[in-house]
Amino acid sequence: ALTCRDQVMALARAAGDAVHEAHAHAVGALALGYMGRIDAAADELEAAVSLLTASNNPTVRALCDYVAGENRLEIAPGDAIPFLHRSRGTARRVGNRFIASVAGLSAVSCAARLGDPTTMIGEYAELIEYFHRAGAWTQLWTTIRTLIETLTRLGQNEAATILYGALRTTGTGAPITGADAARLSEAATSLRS
């Protein structure tokens, strides 16, 4: 991802395209955040936001807010939610359903972990429908994974177990790593007991 980011950034700079350069910085910040390089991710995101002062492209603004929230999910989940909500709202206003949905997924799963999961359960239907219709299998299975965790916390074990079985047998899901893997393992242990 970082190699592709560098190529896009070089092309954007050569063309004098601040919007695509900001987009490349934001994508780089997301990759660095997933790698656990939070300080480097913050620098990339700052570079992206500074480029937006000239263009203020709403799609890239929504992406930057999504990345800011996503990079805070594990270290400061309460701080992540406002960024994710702002991202989702901006993306919805400009018709970018993908960014609205990924930001929505992160916001819903984070809010369900922090508060009463009952209030979040209804949010999953729209996300599952969108990712399924879009053929976004990685995001769909990530949504299912977080739904399993939420259902387990709610004691809806039969539904969670059925979804867990589907998740374990799919060939279209991405590998589950890090804190996500730990949370899913806890849910599976709870379901087994």
CB 48 within 8 A of CB 64: yes
Structure tokens at 31: 């990759």
- How many helical (H) and strand (E) elements, i.e. helices and strands, does the chain have? 10, 0
Q: Which residue has the tokens 């899901």?
A: 173
* Residue, of 122 and 79, whose pLDDT is higher: 79
CB 74 within 8 A of CB 33: no
Per-residue pLDDT tens over the stretch 21-69 = 999 999 999 999 999 999 999 999 999 999 998 788 999 999 999 999 9
Residue 146 CA, chain-centre distance (Å), reads 11
Q: What pLDDT is stored for residue 120 in this prediction? A: 81
Residues near 134 by beta carbon (within 8 Å), at least 6 away in sequence: 97, 98
Neighbour tally for 101: CB within 10 Å: 24
Could you tell me the pLDDT band of residue 72, with boundaries at 50, 70 and 90? very high
The dihedral region occupied by 185, where left means phi > 0, alpha psi between -120 and 50, and beta the remainder, is alpha
Q: Buried (b) or exposed (e) across 69-79, using 16+ Cβ within 10 A? A: bbbbbeeebee
Q: What pLDDT is stored for residue 17 in this prediction? A: 94
Q: Give the global pTM.
A: 0.89
Distance (Å, whole) CA 177 – CA 106: 16
DSSP state of 56: -
Query: What does residue 18 show for φ and ψ, rounded to 5 degrees?
Result: -65, -30
Is the model's pLDDT at 135 over the cut of 80? yes
Calculate the average pLDDT of the chain.
Answer: 92
DSSP state of 30: H
On the CB side of 24, CA atoms within 13 Å amount to 17
CB 143 within 8 A of CB 131: yes
Residue 141 to residues 94, 101, 113, Cα–Cα distance (Å) = 26, 13, 18
Per-residue pLDDT tens over the stretch 95-112 = 999 999 999 999 999 988
